[in-house]
Amino acid sequence: MILEQILRRDIGCAAYLVGSEAAGEAAVVDPRIDMVDEILALAAREGLRIRYVIETHNHADHVAGHHQLAARTGAAIAVHEAAGVAYPHRPLRDGDELALGEVRLRVIHTPGHRPEHIVLAVIDTSRGDEPWAVLTGDSLFIGDVARPDLAVDGREGAGTLFDSLHRHLLGLPEGTLVYPGHVAGSLCGRVSNRMTGTTIGFERRFNPALAIATRPDFVRYMSENLPERPPNMHRIVELNRGPAPLALHPAAPMDPAAARRLLDQGGQVLDVREPASFGQAHIPGAIGVWLDGAQFQNRVGLVVPVDTPLLLVAAASSAAARATTALAVIGYTNVVGYLAGGIDAWRAAGQPVAQIPSMTVAELQATRERLQVLDVREPGEWASGHIPGAIHIPFSRVAAQAAALDPQRPVAVICGSGERSMVAASLLRARGRDDVRNVAGGMAAWRAAGGPTTAGA
């Protein structure tokens, strides 16, 4: 049996190639749109013909690659009969099995995250009839379970998920290997563990969600401290259910004059350079989200309009190309082009630039009585320790809640490391505040320097 995991750690996605070396047949489970070439190369290397492309559910956080894989291999797309998809497919039901030589993929219907959700028990009949592994999609993660509020009322979904976990998944042999559809970085759950596999027995013993014995207690637990919903989720779900693939188009280079016309017509600048370079000089009104920082797509999705024409500013054309692909993964098809020559070309053309100065934690400590300290981390981070007297607004809500800040006092923006704070500072700068500073190193540097903190909500 062959079982290969394909990872994208940007937003914590995992896909799988599973099949039989002897039969030369395989299935692909939960492929992302930007994994297609890698999966095809892997199958070719192993001498495998892809017979099935299986979706465990209609994904809400990324655009799937089932259309592209099916078109390039002739494979059948398989998804649960309740998925409501508009493309030709093999409808799956609980208990169905897909045969790949000696390997069997047994469908287990596990609603909760979404009504159509399935997991796949992987059985190698040459070894026995018990599952060797289970591909759990967005039901059971490592140290966590999937959020229940993306398709139905969260309490209803949580109750259904409890039933699915306890009636089906936890009944598997404890040595069954667990391979989830998401790892750390995903908004589809609260998973923070960076491991990529586990076992049913280990999760029974150590997963806090599975330690909850009653349905009402589980529902309460699953209603607390969920991350922000994938902001573009309804659009992504419809793209994944739709009859046609999402076309990937390269971003076109634009000179400063063409870029200026785009902006004058209502376009938005997304600057994907690292925070220090963005702070030193950027196009006025730009939103700065670092391409190589953590959670690039999720952060863009939370603060950048999905329907506004986008102009990318990057350190190089190759970075603009990577950003375009990364944005397509979350359904952003609105990238018109990128600024050829970057910010240097813009400045050389006589166009204006804006700045967001950085400050050290020592400078913050010396001047914080004269500043508004704006902490843009998530509520759990804030509650675990923040600067006394700071104001708390998560970075994704800064644009909507900017009026809560005192217009007469300068703002020092801080997060965990200096990445989200620059996103938030760019949102404030774009709204006309020129008294914004970004705290380099964030709370990690503040604690390392012995700065005082207070805990609590």
In degrees and rounded to multiples of 5, residue 67 shows phi and psi of -60, -50
> What are the percentages of helix, strand and coil residues in the chain, rounded to 5?
35, 25, 45
What's the CA gap between 118 and 337, in Å, rounded?
Answer: 39
Q: For 44-89, where are the E strands, in sequence order?
A: 49-54, 76-80
What's the CA gap between 374 and 427, in Å, rounded?
Answer: 13
In degrees and rounded to multiples of 5, residue 365 shows phi and psi of -60, -40
Structure token pair of residue 173: 């042999």
Which listed residue (33, 69, 119, 415) is catalytic? 415
What's the CA gap between 76 and 72, in Å, rounded?
Answer: 11
Structure token pair of residue 225: 């401290």
Structure token pair of residue 104: 């069997």
What's the CA gap between 15 and 324, in Å, rounded?
Answer: 21
- Count of CB atoms within 10 A of residue 9's CB? 14
CB-CB contact of 21 with 2 (8 Å): yes
Structure token pair of residue 73: 């291999």
Looking at residue 12, its amino acid is: G
In degrees and rounded to multiples of 5, residue 71 shows phi and psi of -65, -35
**What is the sign of the dihedral through the CA atoms of 359, 363, 364 and 367?**
negative
* Sequence-distant (≥ 6) Cβ neighbours of residue 105 within 8 angstroms: 18, 27, 52, 54, 97, 98, 120, 121, 122, 123
**Active site includes 13?**
no
Q: Which residues are catalytic?
A: 415
